[in-house]
Amino acid sequence: MNKAVRTKLFLMMVLEFFIWGAWLPLIYGYLPSLGFSAAQQSWILNTFPIAAIVGMFFSNQYADRHFAAERFLAFSHLVGGLAMIGIAMIKAPAAVPGLAPGESNPNAPFWPFFGLMLIHCLVYVPTLSIVNSIAFAHIKNAQKEFGIVRMGGTIGWILAAWPFTFIFVDWDKVRSVNPQGWIDWLGTVLGSGLTGEALQKGTRWTYIVSAIASFALAAYSLVLPHTPPKKVASGEDRFAWLEATKLLRHPYMLVLWIVAFIDAFVLYSYFNWTGVFLGSSQVGILGNWIMPVMSIGQVAEILTMLILGATLKRLGWKTTMIIGILGHVVRFGVYAFYPQHRDWIILVQVLHGICYAFFFATVYIFVDEYFPKDARASAQGLFNVMILGIGSLAANSVCPYLLQRVFTQNSVTDFRGLFLVPLGFALFAALLLFACFHPPRKEEANLGAEPAPAS
């Protein structure tokens, strides 16, 4: 592939995932500050998985068959950026005395926030497939080149965390210290992060930064290589993913699909609660360092992906996936039993990359290896709906309620009990995979046929 084209595609991925990475980590702690009830928070958080489910139909069945991909990308990010600006302008209502945690403030701006977030997600989520379509259309050797291009997305997510080390800063404190010299000034800034209510108010900047990146990608899309609409072959099944669901009649595929749901629930429990936990009095990480600390997982993901092929060859599908799931058990175990060890909490973020690469990336590779060539894209979409859609939907529906109504009493949160919930689910998923996932050797698999009767 032409080096200039590869660079363009790489930067496209950087901006695409920067947009998402800028606002997602802190939204879970921000929504309660706007006076939303636990149920309202769930509705807002679920705009993304709902859009993921809708996007499977829209991006795969309509958008990439009727629009040039780069123009669709430009329009989507222009609209998505405007929605983010609108969200940033929404302010918290005046406090109402006597409200219990998780109860709705009657003056909370739910409908504007929900509507704008829904608009953003409906136009953003399809672009996750569109950028892949653009990349594959201009890549000559997908196995060798796509990994390098896609790595730009992980780097973009990491980069999204770092502007906030200088945005979420208590500048009054910095001025009062009056540091002398560049080194002293930098040390004072990095050690003067916002906390508490000031951090919650400052979180609106995550949407502004995300909007700036959206506008940048909207403009940048116009210089991407032209990618015309895909032609639909006569008689092509526009809903081929429905055929892919029939392949779940094979027991090991059904088990993997169920485990993918459980692990997705556990993953989004991590996103729901980790930012709040890191900024709590128990851990005490300053507001400007919460997102960089969480981004350690993405750094580890890059490194883990480099050894994934060798790991699969040595350990096999099942063992690799089980290790990925057990990474959640270890991480939530540290959260639950050792919150006073801040260094351990920071170090254990490395496991996020291992959890993602060893399970989710392995699932996608497994599906690509085992499904028939004409059903691979549909099968990937089927697992995408479970991972990005249904699993996320379940976590976002339950997690705000558990945090604010079940495990928080008198403004004190029982983080140990809270984190034992996803720990238990992850342990169950690992045991289910160990006991029930028995794929045949690749050359013996025939997913286009009826499963053999039990002997």
Give me the chain's average pLDDT, please: 88
- Count Cα atoms within 13 angstroms, Cβ side, for 125: 24
Average pLDDT value for residue range 298-311: 89
pLDDT higher than threshold 90 for residue 126: no
Looking at per-residue confidence, does 273 or 383 come out higher? Answer: 273
The confidence score (pLDDT) of residue 129 equals 81
The confidence score (pLDDT) of residue 309 equals 86
CB 300, CB 430: distance < 8 Å: no
**Which of the four pLDDT bands, split at 50, 70 and 90, describes residue 74?**
very high
pLDDT higher than threshold 50 for residue 141: yes
The confidence score (pLDDT) of residue 455 equals 34
pLDDT higher than threshold 70 for residue 194: yes
Least confidently predicted of 92-101, 275-284, 290-299, 415-424: 92-101
Q: Which residue has the tokens 């580890």?
A: 300
The confidence score (pLDDT) of residue 28 equals 93
Residue-wise pLDDT tens digits, 396-437: 999 999 999 899 988 899 999 999 999 999 999 999 999 999
- The CA distances from residue 320 to 92, 266, 420, in Å, are 45, 18, 23
CB 80, CB 130: distance < 8 Å: no
- Count Cα atoms within 13 angstroms, Cβ side, for 158: 14
pLDDT higher than threshold 90 for residue 45: yes
* 277-285 CB contacts, 8 Å cutoff, 24+ apart: 277/335, 277/339, 277/415, 277/419, 278/345, 279/29, 279/195, 279/199, 280/413, 280/415, 282/339, 282/340, 282/415, 283/339, 283/342, 283/345, 284/342, 285/342, 285/345, 285/346
Average pLDDT value for residue range 310-318: 92
pLDDT higher than threshold 50 for residue 319: yes
- Give percent above pLDDT 70 in the chain: 88
* 5-9 CB contacts, 8 Å cutoff, 24+ apart: 5/138, 5/225, 6/145, 6/148, 6/149, 8/223, 8/224, 8/225, 9/134, 9/135, 9/138, 9/139, 9/149, 9/152, 9/224
The confidence score (pLDDT) of residue 237 equals 52
Looking at per-residue confidence, does 148 or 319 come out higher? Answer: 319
Q: Which domains does the chain have, with CATH numbers?
A: 1-227 (1.20.1250.20), 239-449 (1.20.1250.20)
Q: Which two tokens stand for residue 427?
A: 């342990």
Question: Nearest Cα to 167, choosing from 207, 113, 132?
Answer: 207
Residue-wise pLDDT tens digits, 195-246: 988 999 999 999 999 999 999 999 999 999 998 887 655 445 555 556 667 7
**Which of the four pLDDT bands, split at 50, 70 and 90, describes residue 390?**
very high
Average pLDDT value for residue range 78-97: 92
Residue-wise pLDDT tens digits, 5-31: 989 999 999 999 999 999 999 999 999
The confidence score (pLDDT) of residue 234 equals 47
Looking at per-residue confidence, does 140 or 122 come out higher? Answer: 122
**Which of the four pLDDT bands, split at 50, 70 and 90, describes residue 454?**
very low
Residue 92 sits at φ, ψ, to 5 deg, of -70, 140
The confidence score (pLDDT) of residue 448 equals 53
Beta bridge partners of 409: 412
The confidence score (pLDDT) of residue 453 equals 44
